[in-house]
């Protein structure tokens, strides 16, 4: 049987009861993250959890790592500051689809481009959960929400294609149904030097289901199970066959130069040049 290690990492006195609805996918993602960190043998003091605002962004509050629950859309600037100040830390960001790609969209693409050694999990429930079900940048075209009462007109972002195109070293996607795959992707993302993006596709059985009639958490998880196809399988399917599918797996695994390493080299270069000028 799987060992349940999550209790060793929670803050039951300080931050419980939690705010997540029954059947929400956020707890699954947090559990996968904690198990990934545990399996890497990292101590609590080596890890910092950072987030913005949203249901998913509550995750850092519930665990006993150093944590920063910041401002909506601004988790990545905070995380970048932490990492640059102490590159030895393992910095992990939890970000909702709205947090990462709407208000925080510019920070997201530039963090990918910068390729700093941070791991971000984009918890994609296709909606703004916390604020009542507004359409997010990943809401499917035609889906309903508080701001899309006649169906969403916009096309959704493909989080993984966006991150890979913007230059992140590691990019992967798993659904909340694929718990072990999600844990593995998070572990690989943390181990990878450079910016890592893991998209975790999750159910929001309260707000998304309210507007789209997708049932309870368990119904939504089953649907995620049925819609998931691997990247290998996807390569054999036509665009029509891929229409309602969620392609899961690794989308980028690169070795572009990591930002902190580049920054340290730059500082050294500047110091050398200053010394040379002084000796003239
Ligand atoms: C600057 C700012 N703008 C707007 C808000 C309101 N707000 C809080 S969470 C949120 C959206 C949350 O959606 P998402 O990031 O997808 O997270 P979820 O709740 O779905 O996990 C918004 C618009 C805010 N807190 N701060
Ligand atoms: S509103 Fe949706 S995303 Fe927020 S806690 Fe409830 S189920 Fe989860
Ligand atoms: Mg969301």
Nearest CA to ligand 2 atom 5: 20
pLDDT tens-digit series, residues 38-70? 999 999 999 999 999 999 999 999 999 999 999
Q: What is the mean pLDDT of the segment spanning 7-30?
A: 95
- Asked if the model's pLDDT at residue 1 lies above 80, the reply is no
Q: Which atom of ligand 1 is nearest to the CA of 57?
A: 21
- Residue in this structure with the two tokens 């604020």, named with its chain if needed: 131
Environment of ion ligand 3 (residues, CB < 5 A)? 96-97, 125, 129
Res 3 pLDDT > 90: no
3-class DSSP state of 196: strand
**pLDDT tens figures, 89-123:** 999 999 999 999 999 999 999 999 999 999 999 99
**CA of residue 94 to ligand 1 center, whole Å:** 13
- Res 146: pLDDT: 98
Contacts of 76 by beta carbon, 8 Å cutoff, 6+ apart: 93, 95, 100, 104, 107, 108, 111, 118, 120
Residue pLDDT, tens place only, 170-207: 999 999 999 999 999 999 999 999 999 999 999 999 99
pLDDT value at residue 2: 74
Cβ count near 236 (within 10 Å): 8
Residues with CB under 6 A from ligand 1: 53-56, 72, 96-99, 103, 123, 125, 127-131, 136
Distance from the CA of 94 to the center of ligand 2, in angstroms? 15
Taken in order of first residue, the domains within the chain and their CATH numbers are: 6-278 (3.40.50.970)
């Amino acid at each position: 049987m799987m060992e349940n290690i999550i209790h060793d990492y929670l803050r039951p006195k300080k931050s419980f009861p939690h705010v997540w609805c029954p059947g929400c996918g956020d707890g699954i993602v947090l559990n996968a993250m904690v198990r990934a960190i545990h399996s890497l043998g990292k101590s609590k003091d080596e890890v910092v959890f950072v987030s913005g605002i949203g249901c998913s962004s509550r995750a850092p509050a519930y665990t006993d790592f150093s944590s920063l629950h910041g401002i909506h859309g601004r988790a990545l600037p905070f995380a970048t500051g932490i990492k640059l100040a102490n590159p030895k830390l393992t910095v992990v960001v939890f970000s909702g689809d709205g947090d990462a790609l709407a208000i925080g969209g510019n920070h997201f693409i530039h963090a990918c481009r910068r390729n700093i050694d941070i791991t971000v999990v984009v918890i994609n429930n296709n909606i703004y959960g916390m604020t009542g079900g507004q359409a997010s940048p990943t809401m499917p075209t035609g889906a309903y929400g508080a701001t899309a009462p006649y169906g969403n007109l916009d096309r959704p972002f493909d989080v993984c294609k966006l991150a890979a195109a913007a230059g992140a070293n590691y990019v992967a996607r798993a659904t909340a149904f694929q718990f072990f795959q999600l844990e593995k992707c998070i572990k690989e993302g943390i181990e990878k030097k450079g910016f890592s993006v893991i998209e975790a596709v999750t159910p929001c059985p309260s707000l998304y289901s309210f507007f789209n009639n997708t049932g309870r958490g368990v119904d939504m998880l089953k649907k995620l199970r049925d819609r998931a196809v691997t990247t290998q399988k996807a390569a054999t399917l036509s665009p029509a066959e891929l229409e309602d599918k969620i392609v899961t797996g690794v989308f980028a695994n690169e070795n572009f130069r990591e930002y902190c390493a580049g920054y340290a080299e730059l500082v050294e270069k500047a110091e050398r040049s200053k010394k040379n000028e002084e000796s003239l």
